[in-house]
Structures are given as structure tokens and as C-alpha cells.
Amino acid sequence: MIHVTIWNEFVHEREQNNLGELIRQFYPIGIHAYLRDALKADDLDIRIASLDEAEQGLPADILNSTDVLVWWGHCAHDKVDNALIDRIQLRVQAGMGLIVLHSGHYSKVFRRMMGTSCRLRWREVGEKERLWVVAGNHPITQGVPETFTLPHSEMYGEPFDIPDDGKLILASWFEGGNVFRSGVTFYRDNGKIFYFSPGHETYPIYHDPNVQRVIANAIRWAAPIQIMPPRTTPRPKADEPISTPNPLAKHDTASIHQKA
């Protein structure tokens, strides 16, 4: 059983305006609740959390029992406490999987884990998006057709400021001519991270069965075998004799080095 927490800032869906009404047509009780129901499976124990809940939806008992955290954010990135991001970072480094969706590319947690600005080009005119599977033998793309289209999408385009250590899983072409690395995996210590861009709130993208399959596959791929304790930086004894004279023997260098 994989314990999954789907976190959503849950702001747009509750706005009392034309935008909120439009979004509620597709996600009447929130994107996180829709995904919980759409991804339901015997091997997934899925709970949902949101920004307005106690401790921003991720108190210690919830976070520490989460195997894979799915993150959706858009307009409230700055409202997430830095202390929570610190705890999520440590949990990911210990082995928790992290799936970042759509505009979560600019969330505090994703930028923290990437160490870059994560900026990109964007355009919202409802154009067609065609996704291509780049890594056909990867667990995330199992059962996903080589290519599929989303009739209406928000364009995300290159350049995308993410680190070079990511593995490209899916790529997108947009009707307006732009291309984008729309599915990329990363490793951070013991944790696996997957960024997946399709999912703008004003289009029913998460209703698409191929999008759902990618997310479900990503959850199973990112799930840890076990959560590891925090890594330390030991000072091991030498396995073999050292005969080389130490030029710093007369100096107390050990005291100036931070010990983990």
C-alpha cells in the first residue's frame, strides 16, 4: 500500500467570480479531490490536504506518514511557510516521492529541490497540446500511447530553467509552435521527483485518461522502498596504512570543520 497525499492550495476553485464558476464545472470540490477519486486503486491509500487546513494541511503526522506527495499550486506559492518547505525537503531527501503538477513548477518546494528559478514561457489561449513519450521504457510511460493530444491547454514553453540532471520522460508541442519538457524526473538524495506540466485549472485536463495514467504511474515509480534516516558525513578510519606525512599535523584543522 502506497500512502499518497495530494496537496492543493485550493484557492481558485472557491473564488466567487466567473473564473471560480468555470473551474467548478470541472472540479466542483477541488482539483485534489477530483484526482483522489480519479486515481483510486487498491494499492493507493490517497488522502487530500489544502493550504487552509491546520499547519497548511501537512502537520508532522501527515507528512511523516506520506510515501508520495502530489503538489498543485498556482496563486498562493508565497503563502506556504518556509518551515514547511524545510520539512518537506528533509522528507524527500529521506525517500518520500514528490510529484509536482502544472504551475507547481514555481512553487517554493519545487524551486527548493531544483535550486533554480524554474521560470518558463507561458501563454493561455486554449491551444492544442500534443504530448510525446520520449522514454518509452520508463515506468511512468507504461500503458501511455506514444503520442496523445489535449484539445485545449495552457502553453508552457522553453526555455525552462531546471537543472541538467533531469531525465526527459515526455515532451510537448503546442499549436502556436512552442515546445516544452513536460515530464521530467529527478533524484535528490533518496527521493524521486517528477514534474508533469499539463493541468491548467480552466480546462478538464485531469479528466484525460492518459494524463491520469501518467500521474498514477509516477506515484508508483516515486514510492520509496523505505524511508531512510537523515544522512550523516562520517569521518571513517583508514582501511589501509597511511605513510604520507601530514603537513597540517601541527594545526588543529578538525576543530574548524563542521561535524554532521
Q: Identify the pLDDT of residue 236.
A: 84
43: which 3 cell numbers?
494499492
Q: Identify the pLDDT of residue 146.
A: 98
In a domain, 90, yes or no: yes
Q: What is the CATH number of the domain that holds 41?
A: 3.40.50.880
In a domain, 125, yes or no: yes
Q: Identify the pLDDT of residue 21.
A: 94
In a domain, 228, yes or no: no
DSSP H helices, 27-107, are 31-38, 60-63, 82-94
* Helix, coil or strand: residue 249: coil
Cβ neighbours of residue 248 closer than 8 Å, sequence gap 6 or more: none
| Residuewise pLDDT in 10s, the chain (260 residues) | 999 999 999 999 998 999 999 999 999 999 999 999 999 999 999 999 999 999 999 999 999 999 999 999 999 999 999 999 999 999 999 999 999 999 999 999 999 999 999 999 999 999 999 999 999 999 999 999 999 999 999 999 999 999 999 999 999 999 999 999 999 999 999 999 999 999 999 999 999 999 999 999 999 999 998 888 766 777 888 999 989 988 877 766 555 555 44
Separation of alpha carbons 138 and 30, rounded Å: 30
In a domain, 194, yes or no: yes
- Ramachandran area for residue 57 (φ above 0: left; ψ -120 to 50: alpha; else beta): left
Distances (CA, A) of 65 to 71, 165, 189: 16, 28, 19
Choose among 189, 146, 201: nearest CA to 169: 146
Q: Identify the pLDDT of residue 260.
A: 45
Domain ranges, residue 170: 2-222
How many domains is the chain partitioned into structurally?
1
